[in-house]
C-alpha cells in the first residue's frame, strides 16, 4: 500500500520535472543574437507578433490586461457603451478618458483607434459652432490615432488612416479654408507630429514644407503614406484587404492634391508648377513602374500597358502578313450566314445607329471575327501553321494581361491623372489658372469690366488646353471650373450682356450649369438684313393704297403687336414710300445701319 503510493509520487515528480524542462525549452525568452530563445520566442520573432515587434510596451497597459484575468474583451465592451452614453450627454472630457482606458486594455485592436479617432474628429467636432473649437477636436482625433502607432509600428492600415485624416479632414471639410489657415501656424501640433514621424526618418518642417516654407496638411499626409509604403516594402507589414493599386497611389496623389489646392488659394506659380511636376514624376515613374499584386496572382506594372500595346500591335501586323487573304475569306463566308437584322445594322452609319442596332453590330462583329483555329485549319504548310499558332498564343496572353492592367488603371484613373499632371505643369495652364483667380478677385471687388476681360483671356487658354487634352474636358473633374463658369454667367448678367454664341467652353457650361441653354446665334449681317427687307417690300402692297391720312389702317396684325408702322414712329416722313415698312415686317428686321450695331451684341434668349 505504502510502496504503491510512493511509486505514484515518484512518477508525478518525474512528470512535473519533465514538464518544467519542456516549458523552459518552449518559452525561454531570447536574450540576444546568440540566444534566440525557445520555440515560442522564435515563432514570435518569425511572425513579428512579439510585443517589442508590434510597438512600444506600455507597463500600465500590461498591468491592466493581467489584472483582468482574460476579461479585457468584456471590459472593453462595457467601457465602449459607457463612452456612447457620455457622448450623448455631451460630457466630452469623460469621452477622452474612456478612450484612453479602452486603448490601454487592448492597444493592438486597430478598430478602436480608427473608430474613436473618427468619432472625435467627425462626430464630436461638429457639435461646436466655432471653427477653432472644431479644429481642436479634429486635432484630438488625430493625436489619438497617432498615439496608436506607438503600439503598432508595422500596421500600414493604421498609418494610411492617419494620412487620410490629415488629407481629407483638413482638405475637404466645410471649414477647410479655416483649417488650412490654422494648420501651418500650429507649431505645437507640428512638434507632436514630428515625435511620431522621426521613427520613419521624416521631418515636418523639412519634408512637408509648402507655401511660405510652412507645413501643409497634404504634404504631411504624404509623409504618413510613404511610411506605410516603406513598412510594406520591407516586409514588416502588408496591405491587408486593401487594393494594392489604391494603396500605393496615395503618396503621389497627395502631392497633386497639394498643387491643386494651393492654386485654388492663389499660390499660382513656381511652387504649384514644381508640385505638379514632382507629382507627375512620381505618378508615372515610381508608381507606374511598381509591381502591383493582383487577385490573379500576377504582378503588373501600369506603365506596361503602353509597352504591351505596342508589342501587341507588332504581333497582329506579323500575323496579318502571314495569314494573308484567309481572314478576309472567312469573314465573307460568315457574312452570308448572318441574320438580316445584323446585316442591316452593319450598313447603318455608326453615328446614326440606335441602341438595338449597336447591339446587333456588336454581335455581328463577334460572329465575323475568325478564330485562330479556323485560320490555322486553312494553312497547308505545317511549319507556317505552327508559327501562326505561337503568334496567336502570345497575342492571347498579352490581351489577357492587358485586361488585368486596364482594370488596375481604371481603379486609380491612371491615364487621367497622367494627362492632368502633364497639362497642369505647363506655363500655359499656370497662366490660365492665374487669370481665373485674378478674375474672381476682381469680381469680388466689384470690378466687373476688368473681371470680364480677365475671364475672356482665361477661357481662350482653357479652350486650347482642352483641345490638346480632350480627355480632361470629358472627365467629370473638369468641374473644377464649374464655379468659375457660374460666376462668369452672373457677371455677364450684372453687366446686362449675354453669353456669346461662340463661347469657347460652351460644352462645359452645358455639363456643369443646370438648366443652361445655348444662346441664339449672332444677328445676321447688314447685307443679309437689307436683302430680307427688299424681299419683304416686294411682297408688300403699294403705298398708294394706304393713304397717309388714315394711319390707323396701317397698324400691324394682332400676332405682331410690337411692330409699329413707320408713319406712327415718324409722322413727318409718312409720305416717303421708300422708308415705309410693311405691316407684315418682323420687328428684328432693321435698316443696314441698325443691323450693324445689333450684330455686335447677339440677342439674348
Report the alpha-carbon distance of residue 454 to residue 442 in Å, rounded.
Answer: 9
- In the three-class reduction of DSSP (H, G, I as helix; E, B as strand; rest coil), residue 209 is classed as strand
Taking alpha carbons only, the member of 261, 103, 100, 90 closest to residue 173 is 261
The pLDDT averaged over each successive group of 10 residues in the chain (605 residues) is 78 88 75 68 61 51 65 82 85 80 80 85 89 93 90 88 93 92 94 91 92 94 95 88 93 95 91 95 95 92 94 91 86 88 89 89 89 86 89 92 94 93 94 94 93 94 91 68 88 90 86 75 52 48 43 42 40 40 41 38 37
The three grid cell numbers given for residue 283, joined into one nine-digit string: 505618378
Residue 145 near residue 158 (C-beta atoms within 8 A): yes
DSSP assignment letter at 524: P
Q: Which residues pair with 32 in a beta bridge?
A: 35
DSSP labels, 390-435: HHHHHHHHHHHHHHHHHHHHHHHTHHHHHHHHHHHTSHHHHHHHHH
Res 542: pLDDT: 44
Angle at Cα 264 formed by Cα 261 and Cα 265, nearest 5°? 90
Report the alpha-carbon distance of residue 164 to residue 152 in Å, rounded.
Answer: 17
Report the alpha-carbon distance of residue 121 to residue 146 in Å, rounded.
Answer: 13
Angle at Cα 379 formed by Cα 374 and Cα 380, nearest 5°? 140
Report the alpha-carbon distance of residue 573 to residue 569 in Å, rounded.
Answer: 9
Based on its alpha-carbon atoms, the radius of gyration of the chain, rounded to whole angstroms, reads 38
Res 93: pLDDT: 77
Res 588: pLDDT: 43
Report the alpha-carbon distance of residue 79 to residue 82 in Å, rounded.
Answer: 5
Report the alpha-carbon distance of residue 520 to residue 57 in Å, rounded.
Answer: 74
Question: What number of other Cβ atoms are within 10 A of residue 286's Cβ?
Answer: 13
Question: What number of other Cβ atoms are within 10 A of residue 114's Cβ?
Answer: 19
Res 403: pLDDT: 94
Report the alpha-carbon distance of residue 531 to residue 208 in Å, rounded.
Answer: 69
240, containing H or E segment? none
Report the alpha-carbon distance of residue 238 to residue 410 in Å, rounded.
Answer: 23
Burial class of residue 64, CB neighbours in 10 A (0-12, 13-18, 19+)? middle
Residue 522 near residue 598 (C-beta atoms within 8 A): no
Q: Whole-model pTM above 0.85?
A: no
Res 594: pLDDT: 40
Res 477: pLDDT: 55
Burial class of residue 502, CB neighbours in 10 A (0-12, 13-18, 19+)? exposed
Res 88: pLDDT: 85
DSSP assignment letter at 33: T
Residue 262 near residue 254 (C-beta atoms within 8 A): no
Taking alpha carbons only, the member of 223, 285, 233, 312 closest to residue 414 is 285
Angle at Cα 38 formed by Cα 35 and Cα 42, nearest 5°? 80
DSSP assignment letter at 540: S
Residue 579 near residue 498 (C-beta atoms within 8 A): no
Res 359: pLDDT: 92
Report the alpha-carbon distance of residue 160 to residue 171 in Å, rounded.
Answer: 16
DSSP labels, 366-381: HHHSPPHHHHHHT---
Q: Which residues pair with 292 in a beta bridge?
A: 300
Residue 232 near residue 167 (C-beta atoms within 8 A): no
Report the alpha-carbon distance of residue 389 to residue 524 in Å, rounded.
Answer: 65
Report the alpha-carbon distance of residue 430 to residue 249 in Å, rounded.
Answer: 25
Residue 101 near residue 76 (C-beta atoms within 8 A): no
Report the alpha-carbon distance of residue 47 to residue 239 in Å, rounded.
Answer: 16
Amino acid at each position: 500500500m505504502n510502496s504503491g503510493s510512493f511509486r505514484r509520487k515518484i512518477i508525478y515528480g518525474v512528470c512535473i520535472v519533465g514538464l518544467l524542462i519542456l516549458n523552459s525549452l518552449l518559452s525561454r525568452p531570447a536574450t540576444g543574437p546568440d540566444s534566440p530563445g525557445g520555440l515560442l520566442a522564435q515563432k514570435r520573432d518569425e511572425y513579428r507578433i512579439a510585443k517589442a515587434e508590434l510597438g512600444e510596451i506600455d507597463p500600465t497597459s500590461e498591468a491592466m490586461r493581467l489584472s483582468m484575468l482574460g476579461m479585457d474583451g468584456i471590459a472593453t465592451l462595457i467601457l465602449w457603451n459607457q463612452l456612447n452614453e457620455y457622448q450623448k450627454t455631451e460630457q466630452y472630457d469623460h469621452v477622452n478618458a474612456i478612450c484612453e482606458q479602452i486603448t490601454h486594455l487592448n492597444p493592438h485592436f486597430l478598430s478602436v483607434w480608427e473608430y474613436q479617432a473618427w468619432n472625435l474628429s467627425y462626430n464630436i467636432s461638429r457639435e461646436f459652432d466655432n471653427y477653432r473649437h472644431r479644429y481642436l477636436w479634429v486635432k484630438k482625433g488625430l493625436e489619438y490615432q497617432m498615439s496608436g502607432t506607438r503600439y503598432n509600428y508595422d500596421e500600414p492600415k493604421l498609418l494610411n488612416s492617419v494620412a487620410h485624416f490629415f488629407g481629407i479632414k483638413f482638405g475637404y471639410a466645410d471649414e477647410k479654408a479655416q483649417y488650412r489657415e490654422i494648420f501651418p501656424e500650429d507649431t505645437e501640433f507640428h512638434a507632436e507630429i514630428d515625435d511620431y514621424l522621426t521613427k520613419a526618418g521624416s521631418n515636418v518642417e523639412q519634408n512637408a514644407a509648402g507655401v511660405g516654407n510652412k507645413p501643409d496638411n497634404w504634404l504631411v499626409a504624404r509623409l504618413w503614406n510613404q511610411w506605410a509604403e516603406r513598412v510594406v516594402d520591407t516586409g514588416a507589414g502588408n496591405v491587408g484587404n486593401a487594393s494594392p493599386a489604391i494603396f500605393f497611389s496615395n503618396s503621389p496623389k497627395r502631392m497633386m492634391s497639394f498643387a491643386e489646392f494651393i492654386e485654388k488659394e492663389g499660390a499660382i506659380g513656381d511652387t504649384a508648377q514644381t508640385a505638379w511636376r514632382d507629382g507627375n514624376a512620381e505618378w508615372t515613374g515610381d508608381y507606374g513602374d511598381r509591381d502591383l499584386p493582383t487577385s490573379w496572382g500576377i504582378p503588373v506594372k501600369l506603365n506596361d500597358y503602353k509597352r504591351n500595346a505596342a508589342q501587341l500591335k507588332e504581333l497582329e501586323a506579323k500575323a496579318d502578313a502571314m495569314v494573308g487573304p484567309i481572314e478576309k475569306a472567312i469573314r465573307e463566308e460568315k457574312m452570308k450566314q448572318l441574320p438580316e437584322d445584323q446585316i442591316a445594322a452593319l450598313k447603318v452609319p455608326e453615328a446614326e445607329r440606335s441602341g438595338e442596332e449597336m447591339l446587333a453590330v456588336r454581335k455581328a462583329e463577334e460572329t465575323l471575327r475568325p478564330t485562330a483555329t479556323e485560320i490555322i485549319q486553312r494553312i497547308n504548310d505545317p511549319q507556317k501553321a505552327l508559327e501562326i499558332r505561337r503568334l496567336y498564343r502570345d497575342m492571347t496572353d498579352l490581351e489577357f494581361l492587358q485586361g488585368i492592367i486596364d482594370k488596375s488603371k481604371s481603379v486609380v484613373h491612371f491615364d487621367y491623372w497622367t494627362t492632368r499632371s502633364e497639362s497642369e505643369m505647363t506655363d500655359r495652364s499656370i497662366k490660365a489658372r492665374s487669370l481665373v483667380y485674378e478674375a474672381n478677385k476682381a469680381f469680388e471687388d466689384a470690378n466687373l469690366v476688368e473681371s470680364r476681360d480677365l475671364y475672356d483671356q482665361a477661357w481662350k487658354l482653357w479652350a486650347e488646353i482642352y483641345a490638346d487634352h480632350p480627355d480632361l474636358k470629358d472627365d467629370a473633374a473638369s468641374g473644377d471650373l464649374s464655379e468659375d463658369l457660374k460666376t462668369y454667367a452672373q457677371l455677364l448678367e450684372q453687366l446686362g450682356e449675354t453669353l456669346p454664341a461662340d463661347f469657347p467652353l460652351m460644352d462645359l457650361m452645358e455639363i456643369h450649369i443646370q438648366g443652361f441653354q445655348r444662346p441664339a446665334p449672332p444677328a445676321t449681317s447688314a447685307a443679309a438684313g437689307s436683302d430680307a427687307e427688299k424681299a419683304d417690300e416686294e411682297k408688300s402692297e403699294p403705298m398708294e393704297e394706304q393713304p397717309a391720312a388714315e394711319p390707323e389702317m396701317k397698324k400691324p396684325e394682332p400676332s405682331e403687336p410690337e411692330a409699329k408702322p413707320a408713319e406712327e414712329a415718324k409722322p413727318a416722313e409718312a409720305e416717303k414710300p421708300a422708308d415705309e415698312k410693311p405691316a407684315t415686317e418682323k420687328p428684328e428686321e432693321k435698316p443696314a445701319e441698325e443691323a450693324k450695331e445689333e450684330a455686335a451684341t447677339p440677342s439674348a434668349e
